[in-house]
Amino acid sequence: MRASEPSPRTGVMFCSCRGEISGGLGMEELKAYARGLPDVVFVGESSALCEKKGQDGLQKAITENKLDRVVVAGCTPRVFEETVGRALVAAGLNRYMLEMANLREQCVWPHRDKKRATEKAKLMLAAAVARASLLEPLHGGRLGMKRAALVIGGGVAGMQAARDIADAGNDVVLVEATGKLGGRTYQLSTTFPTHECKPDGCCIHYCRECILTPKIEDVMQHPKINVMLNSKLEEFGGVFGNYHAKIKSPEGVVDIEAGTVVVATGSRTIDPTKLPEFGYGRFKDVITFLELEEMIVAARSGDNQLHRPSDGKVPGTIDFIQCVGSRDSTGRGKAHCSLVCCTYAIGQAKELKKRYPGARIFVHYIDLRGPYRGFEEHYREAREMGIEFVRGRVAEVLCEKDGMVVVGEDIDSGKLLKIRSDLVVLAVGQEAAEGTDRLSTIFHIPLDTDGFLREYNPAFDMLRRKGIAVAGCAAGPKGIRYSVQDARAAAAALNEIMRSGEVAVPDVKAEVDEARCSGCRQCETLCPTGAISMRQLPDFRRMTRRWVAYVTPSQCASCGACAMACPSKAILLSNYKMKQLMAQIEALT
Amino acid sequence: MTEFEPRIVGFVCNWCTYTGADLAGVSRFQYPPNFIPIRVMCSGAVDPMYVVKALIEGADGVLIGGCHPGDCHYQSGNYKARRRATVLKQLLKDIGLDERRVWVRWISASEGKKFADTVTEMTEELKRIGPSKLRDEWAL
């Protein structure tokens, strides 16, 4: 501290918590001890600082004794820092000129031995007073933000998020890589178990026409949504509230400005050729569920018959193989459950059974998993229709002289089954879409163990500090309605962020001492919110320019990871600076 | 002769372990008063310098408390703490200090019992190891 600065005037206010604290500690001894601590000019006691009366007393003590900082020795700052802070603000001090010694939760309550508890309380007081002498006033604030969202991915999740955000009056740019909106949902002939309208299968429409077309039109025609098809995200930068992106579209590269982002890039199906035992790619009549969807769609617009790929024959025996590439611990597939495959396989089996009641349909499964409303009824109906459910893994699909044979076990009967099959449908699982790792780097969103973008726990600050949300299958496999719900939740959170048109700047944040920063960029890579970027400063001594770290204040989540890593100690977390913590440590030992 | 009472300095993260310590108090779980907490925002912000400083200043043990892996409020701070602590312990060993004096534990906000048990266990362990002679040895 410079000599010209007046020395701190610290006041120590004990809160007896109506005997809760004073009953378990030697209060007079502590008060005498506190008076002897450096910079302490006032020691007082209140019966309850959480009450108005106690706060008024604290306020009076601050004014009368010209205190410039206060140590409250009472309860936990986790709960009462805000409350007690109000008294400081009322007395004209900055809220952060307060330090609390947690004598209740972490001293009196867990230690019944009064003498030893008092000894510990002394240390806690000494540390709090040492730290208090080094406190600095902190100021947050608000910054303007752009009330616009960039939505990446035009599947059901992306469309829903775009619409909800646009309906709230914000501008939206929806970027879709392919030539049409609708994503995976657009490839489906029907959706199960929510949308089965005609039991005889005579409806000439695809379900997508009823469900998706109006939605797509809503999005395409929405005055607040700019849909960019065949476009890709090229570059992304800027800060929370004022992001800018370069989108490569058929019309050229377009610059976009947005305050928030929704990542709804979906998933992709696992490549079944990685599991050669099922014969995909070798046998024409082994197809994926998506190819079956195409066949059903083709049938509806053609002669209403299903023709298998090899010879166009209508299949008489159909085998569905579940968990292809999912729940696979061998490393060839993915370890996770893809969640939706049981539901759609049963749906497809029912669709086929309705068309061909004489056909034999087998579903080979490990476990049937459908924790969805309506799944149980959906499954029961399938059993009643005569679809045969076989529990057990399929070993392989063989091609013999007179056709394909599915070899697998039937756990319930304990037998090895050999089924002569006309068509084998693989329920391939879902994995993270191509380029997910790139998005993870661009948006600073970690990947989970399955390679999907990690969902944010809504209780956490990260969404509020970044305004980047993940929706739909990009965060893991989901059914359509759960993707839609996810998108609505993301949109609601972002709408709330954008409502005021301002971004809050946290009071406690990392700050860079540019004179000390050597531009090593360690902090930049460690920051969990991507708040740190590099900027150039003129270096007059060397007649050149040099790079220094810059913290975007609105984006800082105040974790201190940067401050810890900085080799020059040029970046510091306010209120948790090294000198403050060192003073605490010295006082403790 | 009075029994040796070790002094433990704890660097506990605001979101999990500090709150867990509060819960231990609220639940009246008893643990030895040898532990004194220092609240930090994240275990990932605990500079090894703090640990070394505490040891040199005469602390008998240092506990770094963070959120469980995968639960970090800042997503990855506790992983940073874990990697750092691994290196730090190796360094302590290499320069002849007892690495058993530094503990890293994941204690969530709901684990008041675990917090109390951890402090009890650590106090007992340090009593077995005996007082740190570092302050005397390093005194200038």
The answer to whether A567 contacts chain B (CB < 8 Å) is: no
| β-pair partners for A535 | A548
| Chain B residues inside the 8 Å CB shell of A120 | 33, 36
The answer to whether A126 contacts chain B (CB < 8 Å) is: no
Q: Count CB neighbours of A5 within 10 A.
A: 7
Per the structure block, which two tokens stand in for A340? 């939706």
Q: Three-state SS for A192?
A: coil
Q: Edge-to-edge, what's the strand order for the sheet holding A40-46? A: A40-46, A10-15, A69-74, A98-102
**Mean local confidence (pLDDT), B88-97:** 89
| Chain A residues inside the 8 Å CB shell of B54 | 585, 588-589
Which residue among A109, A116, A589 places its CB closest to the CB of B57? A589
- What domains does chain A contain, in order, with CATH numbers? 10-138 (3.40.50), 148-266+433-503 (3.50.50.60), 270-431 (3.50.50.60), 507-573 (3.30.70.20)
**Mean local confidence (pLDDT), B66-77:** 86
Fold of B8-138: Rossmann fold (3.40.50)
| β-pair partners for A280 | A283
Please check whether residue A378 is in contact with residue A343, taking contact to mean a CB–CB distance below 8 angstroms.
yes
The answer to whether B15 contacts chain A (CB < 8 Å) is: no
Amino acid identity of residue B128, one-letter, is R
Query: Are A588 and B50 inside 8 Å of each other by CB?
Result: no
Distance CA A525, CA A317 (A): 56
> In the structure, what pLDDT confidence band is assigned to residue B134 with cuts at 50, 70 and 90?
confident
| Chain B residues inside the 8 Å CB shell of A576 | 40-41, 45
Q: Three-state SS for A349?
A: helix
The answer to whether A102 contacts chain B (CB < 8 Å) is: yes
Residue A304 DSSP label: S
Which residue among B21, B22, B76 places its CB closest to the CB of A528? B76
State which H helix or E strand residue A14 sits in: strand A10-15
- The alpha-carbon gap from A586 to the nearest alpha carbon of chain B, in Å, equals 7
Quick one: pLDDT at residue B137? 74
B127 by Cβ neighbours in 10 Å (0-12 / 13-18 / 19+) ranks as: middle
Gyration radius from chain B CA atoms:
15
| Chain A residues inside the 8 Å CB shell of B57 | 585-586, 588-589
Query: Are A588 and B46 inside 8 Å of each other by CB?
Result: no
Query: Are A106 and B25 inside 8 Å of each other by CB?
Result: yes
CA A375 vs. chain centroid, Å, equals 28
Quick one: pLDDT at residue A583? 93
Q: Three-state SS for A57?
A: helix
Residue labelled with tokens 């703090």: B50
Per the structure block, which two tokens stand in for A222? 């929405």
Query: Are A508 and B41 inside 8 Å of each other by CB?
Result: yes
Give the nearest chain B residue to A556 (CA atoms): B74
Residue labelled with tokens 């602590």: B85
Gyration radius from chain A CA atoms:
32
| Chain A residues inside the 8 Å CB shell of B114 | none
Q: Is the dihedral of CA A425, A426, A431, A435 positive or negative?
A: negative
| Chain A residues inside the 8 Å CB shell of B108 | none
Maximum alpha-carbon separation in chain A: 101
- The reported pTM is 0.74
User: Which of B103, B116, B102 has the alpha carbon at shortest distance from B20?
Assistant: B116
- Measuring CA to CA, how many Å separate B128 from each of A319, A469, B98, B100, B132? 66, 51, 13, 11, 11
Window 44-63 of B, Cβ < 8 Å to A: 44-47, 49-50, 53-54, 57-59
Query: Are A508 and B80 inside 8 Å of each other by CB?
Result: no
User: Which of A294, A173, A335, A267 has the alpha carbon at shortest distance from A483?
Assistant: A267
Query: Are B41 and A560 inside 8 Å of each other by CB?
Result: yes
Q: What share of chain A is helix, strand, coil (3-state, %, to 5)?
A: 35, 25, 40
| Chain B residues inside the 8 Å CB shell of A580 | none
Q: Count CB neighbours of A344 within 10 A.
A: 21
Distance CA A107, CA A93 (A): 28
Q: Please, what is the Cα angle at A221 between A220 and A223, to 5 degrees?
A: 115
Which residue among B25, B32, B41 places its CB closest to the CB of A576? B41
The answer to whether A564 contacts chain B (CB < 8 Å) is: yes
Window 543-562 of A, Cβ < 8 Å to B: 557-561
Per-residue pLDDT of chain A (589 residues; tens, 9 = 90+): 445 678 899 999 999 999 999 999 999 999 999 999 999 999 999 999 988 999 999 999 999 999 999 999 999 998 888 888 889 999 999 999 999 999 999 999 999 999 999 999 999 999 999 999 999 999 888 888 999 999 999 999 999 999 999 999 999 999 999 999 999 888 887 776 655 555 454 555 556 666 788 889 999 999 999 999 999 999 998 888 889 899 999 999 999 999 999 999 999 999 999 999 999 999 999 999 999 998 988 887 788 889 999 999 999 999 999 999 999 888 888 999 999 999 999 989 998 998 899 999 999 999 999 888 888 988 999 999 999 999 999 999 999 888 899 999 999 999 999 999 999 999 999 999 999 999 988 887 878 888 899 876 554 556 777 889 999 999 999 988 889 999 999 999 999 999 989 988 888 999 999 999 999 999 998 988 888 999 998 888 887 888 999 998 888 888 999 999 999 999 999 989 999 999 999 998 7
Quick one: pLDDT at residue A199? 47
| β-pair partners for A468 | A261
Distance CA A571, CA A566 (A): 6
Distance CA A407, CA B137 (A): 74
| Chain A residues inside the 8 Å CB shell of B131 | none
| Chain B residues inside the 8 Å CB shell of A462 | 74-75
| Chain B residues inside the 8 Å CB shell of A108 | 25
Please check whether residue B122 is in contact with residue B103, taking contact to mean a CB–CB distance below 8 angstroms.
yes
Q: Domain residue spans in chain B?
A: 8-138
Q: Count CB neighbours of B117 within 10 A.
A: 16
Please check whether residue A578 is in contact with residue A569, taking contact to mean a CB–CB distance below 8 angstroms.
yes
Q: Which of B74, B108, B133 has the highest number of chain A CBs within 10 A, making it the mutation to test binding with A?
A: B74
Q: Which of A17, A105, A444 has the highest number of chain B CBs within 10 A, making it the mutation to test binding with B?
A: A105
| β-pair partners for B105 | B65
Query: Are A576 and B40 inside 8 Å of each other by CB?
Result: yes
Give the strand pairing for A40-46 and A388-391: unpaired
Please check whether residue A288 is in contact with residue A272, taking contact to mean a CB–CB distance below 8 angstroms.
yes
- The alpha-carbon gap from A240 to the nearest alpha carbon of chain B, in Å, equals 17
Phi, psi (5° rounding) for residue A506?
A: -70, 150
State which H helix or E strand residue A539 sits in: strand A532-539
Query: Are B45 and A106 inside 8 Å of each other by CB?
Result: no
Provide the ipTM.
0.94
User: Which of A100, A523, A531 has the alpha carbon at shortest distance from B45?
Assistant: A523
Q: Which of B73, B107, B114, B120 has the highest number of chain A CBs within 10 A, making it the mutation to test binding with A?
A: B73
Quick one: pLDDT at residue A194? 58
Query: Are B21 and A105 inside 8 Å of each other by CB?
Result: yes
The answer to whether B86 contacts chain A (CB < 8 Å) is: no
Quick one: pLDDT at residue B70? 79
